[in-house]
């Protein structure tokens, strides 16, 4: 515990952040927060990253948290700075990302008077935060910071907001800092229910066709080793949600791919054939389940989750295992029998072969025509030896990247899942590189999302960050155009884009840039990008109306799978 006397609130704030081992702050200056920045000026323990827009600060903090496993920190001023953060806060809430956001506020005497740059921060952010508070006195600051970091990072992680009035930053009081280790009525790590664990083990031991579907809860709980031990002991095929990608290596023999709307055929089909479905750290999102009335109705469902509110919210489970994935998987492992499910696992290969012949072969190894997103993604994955961090924006680029990038280590896939935020990719890549400075960070984005936060190229320039940016340019909002093509008779309402000269823009920021249009240029350009010291921007002009398949029929069952424009999946095992 650090102790001192008679410090102003701004100094208390900065010292408290240092006490929480904060090394990076993403932020933007302004009148209400000036005292805090003045104290930061003399502090070398914390590096401040000046973004070009407050939304970029929130997404950068998310990328930092997802890559490092530690809370990202944001500091901005009042009014429009706060409202500019809202999308990023909501994104962090949807994806359980721990970020601590510090906002300046007008003097407490002006609260409620519609003073210059005053907004109701608590009212605006309450629905999209795990916790928020307003500080009006300097002596409240240190305890609030301690509580914020504890809440943001414990249990199911999430964003917290601390709104600080200017008089709280200027006022003085004795300073001491005590990290928060518990809060009355807040129980982030519940006691394990031994009876439920035993019942779950008995179901798994008797299962003939078990399937594990895991999500980001495994990564957030640092349960990767426990998950591997669990599936290997009982010979359980396992599939990932979008945010669960990279929790286990892509080449593991029990890994069967990604579930969901653009996921792999075999785990989607087998979800509706398995007799026991073990869901670990996932929330049965609609993009995973499709029609709830047709989802895994034949299966007994065992749901592992740290958040009690997720149980039976969307899908009724037979057994609920409440707790941190690392601890609950560790507890159930001795109860699980060694087993083999060879015949059941072999059944997955029938679907896999269909997917390869109908989709993957053409995506990865096209004989002719324009460049395809999938082939570029796989080349980058291979050339980085499956060790890079992949950051994506949202849309077709995201789904092709999720399908074809491969991983050797956890915390290697950073994307906007629950909110699907276009513009997430570029600032999130900034945060990811700062959170994992020794790893290669590759951003895959589309021409639409890139332009939503394109100003963050200035952050990269000023901070001298080594990020590899790959932009797929098809002159469309590709995912929306895909829906218009498939379901709206090719009525492309406001999805065609007239784009600027992207390499010219990136070169203006001092970033080495290249555009490629031909297949025979790809290998050399990717190699040049990866070997370049510093940020590199590679524009890839891709097939204009490429479609990402497979695709779950909108509103249909998880087995209503579209293979291409003219063909749906037919079960060849019948």
Query: Among all residues, which ones are annotated catalytic?
Result: 54, 116-117, 166, 479
E-state strands within 369-467 = 389-392, 413-414, 441-446
Distances (CA, A) of 50 to 10, 78, 118, 463, 508: 19, 16, 22, 8, 19
Q: Which residues pair with 321 in a beta bridge?
A: 304
Q: How many helices (H) and strands (E) does the chain have?
A: 23, 23
Tell me if 240 sits within 8 A of 258, measured CB to CB: yes
- Alpha-carbon span 397 to 500, nearest angstrom: 19
Residue 208 burial (CB < 10 Å; 0-12/13-18/19+)? exposed
- Alpha-carbon span 94 to 528, nearest angstrom: 37
Closest CA to 418 of 156, 221, 28, 52: 156
Distances (CA, A) of 173 to 3, 8, 133, 138, 140: 12, 6, 20, 6, 10
Kindly state the helix (H) or strand (E) to which residue 38 belongs, with its residue range.
helix 34-40
Structure tokens at 183: 């809060």
Distances (CA, A) of 322 to 69, 91, 302: 22, 24, 11
- Alpha-carbon span 459 to 464, nearest angstrom: 8
Strands 551-552 and 561-564: antiparallel
- Alpha-carbon span 554 to 569, nearest angstrom: 15
- Alpha-carbon span 283 to 288, nearest angstrom: 9
């Amino acid at each position: 515990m650090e102790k001192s006397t008679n410090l102003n609130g701004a100094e208390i704030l900065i010292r408290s952040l240092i006490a929480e081992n904060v090394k990076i702050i993403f932020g933007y200056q302004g009148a209400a927060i000036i005292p805090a920045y003045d104290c930061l000026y003399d502090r070398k323990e914390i590096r401040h990253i000046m973004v070009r827009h407050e939304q970029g600060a929130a997404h950068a903090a998310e990328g930092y948290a997802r890559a490092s496993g530690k809370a990202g920190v944001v500091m901005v001023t009042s009014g429009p700075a706060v409202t500019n953060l809202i999308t990023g806060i909501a994104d962090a809430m949807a994806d359980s990302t721990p970020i601590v956001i510090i906002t300046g506020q007008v003097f407490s005497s002006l609260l409620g008077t519609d003073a210059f740059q005053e907004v109701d921060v608590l009212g605006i952010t309450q629905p999209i935060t795990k916790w928020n508070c307003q500080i009006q006195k300097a002596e409240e600051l240190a305890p609030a910071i301690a509580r914020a970091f504890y809440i943001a990072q414990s249990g199911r992680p999430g964003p917290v907001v601390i709104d600080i009035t200017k008089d709280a930053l200027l006022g003085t009081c004795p300073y001491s800092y005590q990290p928060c280790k518990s809060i009355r009525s807040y129980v982030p790590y519940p006691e394990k229910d031994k009876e439920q664990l035993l019942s779950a083990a008995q179901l798994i031991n008797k299962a003939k066709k078990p399937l594990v579907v895991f999500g980001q809860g495994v990564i957030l709980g640092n349960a990767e080793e426990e998950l591997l031990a669990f599936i290997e002991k009982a010979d359980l095929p396992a599939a990932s949600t979008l945010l669960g990608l990279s929790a286990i290596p892509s080449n593991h023999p029990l890994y069967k791919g990604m579930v969901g709307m653009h996921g792999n055929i075999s785990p989607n089909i087998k979800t509706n054939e398995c007799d026991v479905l073990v869901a670990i750290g996932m929330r049965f999102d609609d993009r995973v389940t499709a029609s709830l009335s047709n989802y895994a109705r034949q299966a007994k469902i065992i749901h592992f989750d740290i958040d009690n509110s997720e149980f039976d919210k969307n899908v009724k489970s037979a057994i609920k295992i409440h707790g941190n994935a690392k601890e609950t998987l560790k507890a159930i492992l001795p109860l699980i029998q060694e087993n083999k499910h060879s015949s059941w696992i072999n059944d997955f290969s029938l679907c896999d072969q269909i997917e390869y012949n109908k989709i993957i072969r053409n995506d990865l190894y096209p004989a002719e025509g324009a460049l395809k997103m999938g082939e570029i993604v796989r080349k980058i994955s291979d050339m980085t030896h499956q060790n890079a961090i992949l950051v994506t924006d949202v849309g077709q680029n995201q789904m092709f990247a999720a399908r074809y990038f491969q991983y050797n280590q956890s915390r290697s896939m950073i994307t906007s899942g629950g909110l699907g935020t276009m513009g997430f990719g570029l600032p999130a890549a900034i945060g990811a590189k700062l959170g994992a400075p020794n790893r290669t960070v590759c951003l895959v984005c589309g021409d639409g999302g890139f332009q939503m936060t394109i100003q963050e190229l200035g952050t990269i320039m000023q901070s001298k960050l080594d990020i590899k940016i790959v932009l797929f340019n098809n002159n469309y909002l590709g995912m929306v155009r895909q829906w218009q093509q498939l379901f709206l008779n090719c009525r492309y309402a406001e999805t065609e884009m007239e784009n600027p000269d992207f390499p010219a823009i990136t070169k203006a920021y001092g970033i080495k840039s290249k555009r490629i249009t031909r297949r025979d240029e790809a290998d050399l350009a990717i190699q040049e990008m990866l070997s370049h010291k510093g940020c590199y921007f590679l524009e890839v002009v891709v097939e204009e109306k490429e479609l990402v398949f497979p695709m779950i029929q909108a509103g249909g069952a998880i087995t209503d799978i579209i293979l291409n424009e003219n063909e749906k999946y037919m079960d060849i095992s019948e």
